[in-house]
């Protein structure tokens, strides 16, 4: 099985995996999984570059768009889907695109990955433009759908990047703004990139989206303050954030959150500035959504009667 792609090579540690006991198989998988975090760590600078590109796109009114096929596509869609409940984002600003469309999330549609034109068409339907950042995800580095999408996104003016788990050819670095390549090595089951490569992909996407959201002021300390209450779990979390940050009791936290229409950051701004929800939202807008950039209470930036005077 000769193949230059690292993800397609045979792992010498698992050549007799079918002869092992169940416990030995589990222990072998675990030993291989232990290599993943270090491989991702080696790509810290590239990951940070991707996070900055994502944050810049989002601040400029653009989008972070993940594009992939199979496991890679599903992981991109998963990361995108987790942004609204975690950080209160509009579902339209972090998007996951998968070859084969939504049905490929639950059922394999492997043939769809071979069509670069379909990838290009997906970018056109999303009206990708100069304000966007498109990140292709292709463990093997060769998925035609992903390359077709990125090429078209680039033509449309978007910043582009690619995440792969095999040594990238020089042409990729020339073509894109960032290349992320955690080298996780051959899989326990040859070519099964849902394993180490998939784990590495999840770690990288976690880092990109988390860092981008922090840069955008959606985290204060280590608390997800752009949380919006949409269920009992998030109501409890929002109340606990207010209790811990403001030193108030559960009842007062609930009242603040109700007045802020379930938005934790607005409630924090109300308390800090001593104003109502409308003025707190205006102050946050002027501060770019960053709590640390709010004017100090009593300064000229906070107008009489709770209004906010001037800008940043």
pLDDT at 305 exceeding the cut of 70: no
Q: What is the CA 177 to chain-centroid distance, rounded?
A: 17
Check residue 211 and give its pLDDT.
97
* Separation CA 13–CA 19 (nearest Å): 12
pLDDT over threshold 80, residue 309: no
168-178 burial, b if ≥16 CB within 10 A, otherwise e?
Answer: beeebeebbbb
Is 113 among the residues known to form the active site?
yes
Q: What's the pLDDT band for 107 if we cut at 50, 70, 90?
A: confident
The β-bridge relationship of strands 133-137 and 178-180 is: unpaired
Both tokens of residue 250? 């559960």
Tell which phi-psi region holds residue 99, choosing left (phi > 0), alpha (psi between -120 and 50) or beta.
beta
User: Minimum mean pLDDT among 74-78, 106-110, 117-121: which range?
Assistant: 106-110
Please provide the CATH number assigned to the domain covering 6-215: 3.40.50.10490
Q: How confident is the model at residue 304 (pLDDT cuts 50, 70, 90)?
A: very low
Mean pLDDT along residues 107-122:
88
Q: Does the pLDDT value for residue 19 go beyond 90? A: yes
Spot the catalytic one: 8, 32, 43, 113.
Answer: 113
**Which listed residue (82, 151, 255, 259) is catalytic?**
82
Q: Which of 8-12, 245-249, 278-282 is the least confident region?
A: 8-12
Instruction: Tell whether the model's pLDDT for residue 312 goes beyond 50.
Output: no
Angle at 101 between CA 143 and CA 3, to 5 degrees: 15
For residue 295, the model assigns a pLDDT of 85
> In this predicted model, what pLDDT tens digit does every residue of 196-216 receive, in sequence order?
999 999 999 999 999 999 999
* Predicted pLDDT of residue 301: 54
Band (pLDDT 50/70/90 cuts) for residue 108 is: confident
Question: What is the pLDDT of the chain when averaged over all its residues?
Answer: 91
- How many residues does this entry show for the chain? 312
Q: For 58-73, how does the pLDDT look when each residue is reduced to its tens digit (9 = 90+)?
A: 999 999 999 999 999 9
Q: What is the mean pLDDT of residues 176-185?
A: 96
High-pLDDT (> 70) share of the chain, %: 94
Q: DSSP string covering 79-91, please?
A: HHHTHHHHH---T
| pLDDT for position 80 | 97
Distance CA 289, CA 252 (A): 23
Average pLDDT for residues 18-45, to the nearest whole number?
Answer: 96
Q: Which residues of 202-237 are buried (b: 16+ CB within 10 A; e: fewer)?
A: bbbbebbbbbbbbbbbbbbeebbbbbbbeeeebbeb
In this predicted structure, the answer to whether residue 244 has a pLDDT above a threshold of 50 is yes
pLDDT of residue 83: 95
So where are the chain's domains?
6-215, 232-306
Residue 110 pLDDT greater than 90, yes or no: no
Could you tell me the pLDDT band of residue 299, with boundaries at 50, 70 and 90?
A: low
Q: Does domain 232-306 have CATH number 3.40.50.2300?
A: no
The whole-number average pLDDT for the span 219-243 is: 91
Based on its alpha-carbon atoms, the radius of gyration of the chain, rounded to whole angstroms, reads 23
Q: Token digits for 309?
A: 């005077």
Domains 6-215 and 232-306 are alike in CATH topology: no
Contact 193, 139 (CB under 8 A): yes
DSSP state string for 199-248? HHHHHHHHHHHHHHHHHTT--BTTB-TT-B--SHHHHHHHHHHHHHHH--
282: pLDDT strictly greater than 90 = yes
Average pLDDT over residues 225-254: 92
Residue 138 near residue 146 (C-beta atoms within 8 A): yes
């Amino acid at each position: 099985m000769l193949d230059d792609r690292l993800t397609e090579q045979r792992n010498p540690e698992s050549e007799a995996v079918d002869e092992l006991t169940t416990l030995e198989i589990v222990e072998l998988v675990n030993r291989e999984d232990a290599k993943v975090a270090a491989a991702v760590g080696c790509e810290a600078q590239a990951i940070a570059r991707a996070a900055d590109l994502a944050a810049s796109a989002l601040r400029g009114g653009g989008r972070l768009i993940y594009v992939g096929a199979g496991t890679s596509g599903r992981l991109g869609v998963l990361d995108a889907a987790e942004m609204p409940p975690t950080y209160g984002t509009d579902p339209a600003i972090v998007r996951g695109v998968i070859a084969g469309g939504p049905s490929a999330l639950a059922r394999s549609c492997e043939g769809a990955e071979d069509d670069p034109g379909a990838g290009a068409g997906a970018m056109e339907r999303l009206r990708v433009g100069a304000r966007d950042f498109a990140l292709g995800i292709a463990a093997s580095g060769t998925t035609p759908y992903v390359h077709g999408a990125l090429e078209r996104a680039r033509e449309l003016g978007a910043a582009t990047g690619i995440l792969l788990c095999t040594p990238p050819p020089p042409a990729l670095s020339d073509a894109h703004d960032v290349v992320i390549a955690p080298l996780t090595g051959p899989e326990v089951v040859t070519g099964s990139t849902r394993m180490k490569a998939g784990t590495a992909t999840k770690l990288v996407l976690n880092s990109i989206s988390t860092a981008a959201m922090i840069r955008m002021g959606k985290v204060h300390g280590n608390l997800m303050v752009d949380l919006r209450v949409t269920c009992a779990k998030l109501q409890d979390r929002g109340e606990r954030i207010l209790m811990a940050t403001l030193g108030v009791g559960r009842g007062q936290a609930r009242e603040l959150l109700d007045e802020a229409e379930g938005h934790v950051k607005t409630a924090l701004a109300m308390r800090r500035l001593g104003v109502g929800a409308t003025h707190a939202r205006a102050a946050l807008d002027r501060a770019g959504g960053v709590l640390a950039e709010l004017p100090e209470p009593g300064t000229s930036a906070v107008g009489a009667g709770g209004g906010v005077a001037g800008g940043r």
